Amino acid sequence: MTQMQTVTRQDFDAVMVPNYNPAAVIPVRGQGSRVWDQDNREYIDLAGGIAVSALGHCHPAMVQALQAQSERLWHLSNVMTNEPAIRLAQKLVAATFADRVYFCNSGAEANEAAFKLARRYASDHFGPEKHEIISFQQAFHGRTLFTVSVGGQPKYTEGFGPVPGGLHHALYNDLDSLREVISDRTCAVVMEPMQGEGGIVPATPEFIRGVRELCDQHNALLIFDEVQTGMGRTGHLYAYEAYGVKPDILSSAKGLGGGFPVGAMLTTEKVAASFVVGTHGSTYGGNPLACAVAEAVLEQVNTPTLLSGVQARNKQLRAGLEAIAAETGAFREVRGMGLLMGAEVAEPFAGQARAFLNAALDAGVMVLVAGLNVVRFAPALNIPEADLDLGLQRFAEGVRKVVAQASAAA
C-alpha cells in the first residue's frame, strides 16, 4: 500500500480552484460528535458538515453498511437497478407522502430534477406556456445555473448570466407578496420549510398553508426543498410533517447519506409519470454504496427515540444559546427548529457572524454561519448531551473573546 503523502493547508491554495477558503486546520479523524486535526487537537462538532452528519462521524451502522456493500457491488449505472436502491426507495415511500423516488448525488441535483419535472408535468397537462417557477428571496436551492437562479440570492448568480428565464421571487412569510406574482402561468412554487442559508428562518404555519392553497388555486405544484431540514433535522423525518401540509415534490440530500453523497427527489405517482424513460437521468444516481449507507441512516433516524431526542436537544441548545446571548449581548435572537438553530448577531456586531465562527474554532468547537449575521448550529442528531454542553461552553468562550476585543477597540 502506498504511504500517504503529508499535506498542509498551504497545499490547498497551490492546487485547488480558489472558490473556497477553508479553515487553517485540517481534520483527519472523527468519532461521534468529536473531530481531531493533524495536530491531534480535539473539536466538538456543532456544524455537522452543514447539516450532513446526521449520526455524527463513523457511526457503527453506517460503517458496517458501507463495508458490507463494498464487498458486494459498487456501481452499475442506471442501465440496471440494484437492491440497495430499491430497498431505500421502498422505505422512503413508506415513511413519507411520496409514491415514487428518483436518486441522484446531491441537493442541487435533487432540486434540478424537481424543477425539470415541474416544468415537464405542466407542459404535459397544461401546455408549454405554464412554465414559470416562483421561489423566495434569500432562498438557496443549489449551485447549478438553474438551481442558483431559482434561489433568491443575486450574489450567487453575479457574473454567470444570462440566467434561465421564467423565474420570480416573492418575500418569504408574506402571502401578499406571493399573490402578486403567482398566476396560471406558474408551474411550481418552491420553498424551504425553514430557510437555511437565508438565516435560519422557519415558515409560519399560516404562510405554508397559504402557499399550498395558492398553488392549488393556480394548478401549480408545491415543491419543498428539504435538503437541509430533512432526515430528522427538525425532530420530524421531514419538516413538512410539523406543518401538516404535503408537497407535490420534495428534495432530500445532506443528512440522507449521513456524509456519503446521495440525493433524492420524492414525488407522487401522478407527477412522476411525466418523467418517462429518457427524460432525465444520472450516471451515479442510485449508486449501491450510497443507497446502502442511506438505508442505514434512515433506519437509525426514523425512530421515535431519536426524533424525540432531537426535540430534547433543541431545548438544551436553545437554552444554552439564549444564556450566552443574555450574558454577552452578542445576539439579538435565537431561532430555528430541532437541531438546525441560528443565533442572529446584535447590532454592534452586524456583518460579523464569521468572527464568532473563527473564535469558536480557536476555542475548540466547530459552528457555521448562515449569511453575514447569523451563526448556525447543525450538530449530529444523536449528539450526547455532555458533548452539546461542552460545545456550548467552548462557544461561549469564543463569544466572550469577540465581545472583549470589540470593547477594547471601542
Lookup result for grid cell 439564549: 322
C-alpha cell at 165: 428565464
CA-CA distances (angstroms) from residue 188 to 132, 198, 265?
A: 7, 20, 15
- Active site residues per annotation: 140, 225, 254
Residue 169 phi, psi dihedral angles, 5° rounding = -130, 125
Secondary structure of the chain as H, E, C letters: CCCCCCCCHHHHHHHCCCCCCCCCCCEEEEEECEEEECCCCEEEECCHHHHCCCCCECCHHHHHHHHHHHCCCCCCCCCCCCHHHHHHHHHHHHHCCCCEEEEECCHHHHHHHHHHHHHHHHHHHHCCCCCEEEEEECCCCCCCHHHHHHCECHHHCCCCCCCCCCEEEECCCCHHHHHHHCCCCEEEEEECCEECCCCCEECCHHHHHHHHHHHHHCCCEEEEECCCCCCCCCCCCCCHHHHCCCCCEEEECHHHCCCCCCEEEEECHHHHCCCCCCCCCCCCCCCHHHHHHHHHHHHHHCCHHHHHHHHHHHHHHHHHHHHHHHHHCCEEEEEEECCEEEEEECHHHCCCHHHHHHHHHHHCEECEECCCCEEEECCCCCCCHHHHHHHHHHHHHHHHHHHHHHHHHC
Among left, alpha and beta (phi > 0; psi -120 to 50; other), residue 244 is: left
